[in-house]
Amino acid sequence: MSYGNSMNELQPFGCYDDILFYLSRTKPIAVRKSTHSRNGGRIPLAERRYVDRYWCRKVNGDVEMFCDSNIKPTLIWSPQNRITITSDMWYDWRSAEFLSSILYGQGDTPTFYTKSGKIYWYNGDGNAYLLPRGQDYEIGKDGATFVPVKPVQEYKHVMRKKRMAEIRSMFKPFFQYMEAVLAVDPEFGRSYENVKYYDVEEFENLLRNPTDDPSIMKEMLVKCTTEASRQHLSAEWKTSSLGGYHTYKGTCIGFKQAKEQFEKILKVFYFNEVFEYVPIEIGKEVHDANAKYGYSKWNRISGKR
């Protein structure tokens, strides 16, 4: 049986009393001094053969529950029916599936799921609550329903369209040059695939102070079409939004790809001018497609990333 299917055997709980009843009927794994088994004393949450993966223990009244961790619990359930999902939880689909299997509400089945690299919690009230990465998250009960103690406010990077249009207009001669050259030679970049290094500071200066000099614009076009140049720029800017080493599509071919790549460069370089940080209604899923542009050395507001 796979580890994923083993979660089908997990015991669900609707309240602390359910846990006490379960503990009263479930024997811990026997301690065998001769084998020094690390599972000795653990109370299994699924079939006993999976006790090394899913287990619990009672500590000063609280019940700590573990998933794939032998050190710290994934969640802690208190006698006051307060549940703490700990910051030590693995932030992935397995943790989401484990939490969905453990928490059971009368009339509602809370569901934890992953989306866009996040874990959300749908508890049946029509909202999707974010579980923050690296922070404890507390859940209480309102009657028979699980509810968040303090829902997390999410934000989204929204483009300042007027400012982005102003920045694009600064590069109008370059876009015209790019379109003209690639109309004649759509595989322009392939002639420069062996370029290994270029002066990034010089390129940054051109991004601040655009030029209409054809010879300089030619060098700029090389930098935003060739794969080697994009790799070098990504490393220098500490960003993966221009394409990581395993996500490149190769050298850009044609005007559409080259223009798209150059606009990504502008979004990273001018990130704090182009995007504003806007709060989103709590309970709504947020897919922040623009956040990736902020993960670079140019984002001065690191606390909001």
Residues 108 and 29 in one domain: yes
pLDDT above 50: residue 39 = yes
Q: Is the pLDDT of residue 228 over 90?
A: no
Choose among 235, 257, 253: nearest CA to 244: 235
Domain co-membership, 108 together with 202: no
Q: What is the pLDDT of residue 241?
A: 87
Clarify whether residues 80 and 192 are in a common domain. no
Q: Domain of 215?
A: 158-271
Residue 45 lies in a domain: yes
Residue with the bigger pLDDT between 34 and 201: it is 201
pLDDT of residue 152: 92
Quote the CA–CA distance of 272 and 298 in Å, as a whole number. Answer: 8
Residues 27 and 70 in one domain: yes
Distance CA 66, CA 79 (A): 18
Alpha-carbon gap, residue 279 to 177, rounded angstroms: 39
Q: Compute the mean pLDDT over every residue in the chain, rounded to the nearest whole number.
A: 87
Structural domains of the chain, count: 2
**193 and 110 inside one domain:** no
Question: Which of 151, 173, 199 finishes a domain?
Answer: 151
Look at residue 162 and give its three-state secondary structure. Answer: helix
Structure tokens belonging to residue 215: 């010879």
pLDDT of residue 196: 64
The residues near 164 (Cβ < 8 Å, ≥ 6 apart) are 266, 267, 274
- Per-residue pLDDT, 168: 96
Same domain, 44 and 117: yes
pLDDT computed for residue 302 by the predictor: 45
Alpha carbons 115 and 188: distance in angstroms, whole number: 38
Average pLDDT over every residue of 51-68: 93
Note whether 124 and 108 are within 8 A (CB).
yes
Quote the CA–CA distance of 93 and 25 in Å, as a whole number: 30
Report how far Cα 230 is from the mean position of its chain's Cα atoms.
23
User: Residues 189-216: what's their mean pLDDT?
Assistant: 87
Asked whether residue 281 is assigned to any structural domain, the reply reads: no
Query: Which one, of 201, 202, 206, lies nearest residue 170 by Cα?
Result: 206
- Decide if 278 is inside a domain: no
Is 199 among the domain residues? Answer: yes
Contacts of 257 (CB under 8 A, 6+ apart): 225, 249
Candidates 135, 132, 137; CA nearest to 153 is 132
Same domain, 7 and 147: yes
Outline where 171-299 has alpha helix (H).
172-184, 200-208, 214-225, 227-237, 254-269, 271-274
What is the pLDDT, as a whole number, of residue 298? 92
262-288 per-position pLDDT tens digit: 999 999 999 999 999 999 999 999 989
Same-domain status, 212 and 264 = yes
* pLDDT score at 61: 94
Q: Find, among 105, 211, 205, 229, the residue nearest to 121 by Cα.
A: 105
Pair 12, 135 in one domain = yes
Distance CA 83, CA 137 (A): 8
Residues 131 and 175 in one domain: no
Q: Measure the CA–CA gap between 224 and 182, rounded to whole angstroms.
A: 12
Residue 169 lies in a domain: yes
One domain, residues 250 and 147: no
pLDDT, one tens digit per residue, over 106-147 is 555 678 999 888 999 998 888 999 999 889 999 998 887 889
Asked whether residue 283 is assigned to any structural domain, the reply reads no
Domain assignment present for 21: yes
| Domain end point (choices 123, 151, 179) | 151
> Sorting pLDDT into bands at 50, 70 and 90, what band is 305?
very low
pLDDT value at 172 more than 50: yes
Give 235-269 pLDDT, tens digit per residue.
899 998 886 444 445 677 889 989 999 999 999 99
Is residue 301 in some structural domain? no
Q: Are 254 and 221 in contact (CB under 8 A)?
A: no
Same domain? For 93 and 162 the reply is no
72-110 confidence digits (pLDDT tens):
999 999 999 999 999 988 889 999 999 999 987 555 567
Of the residues 125, 151, 177, which one is the last residue of a structural domain?
Answer: 151
Going 281 to 282 to 287 to 290, the CA torsion angle's sign is: positive
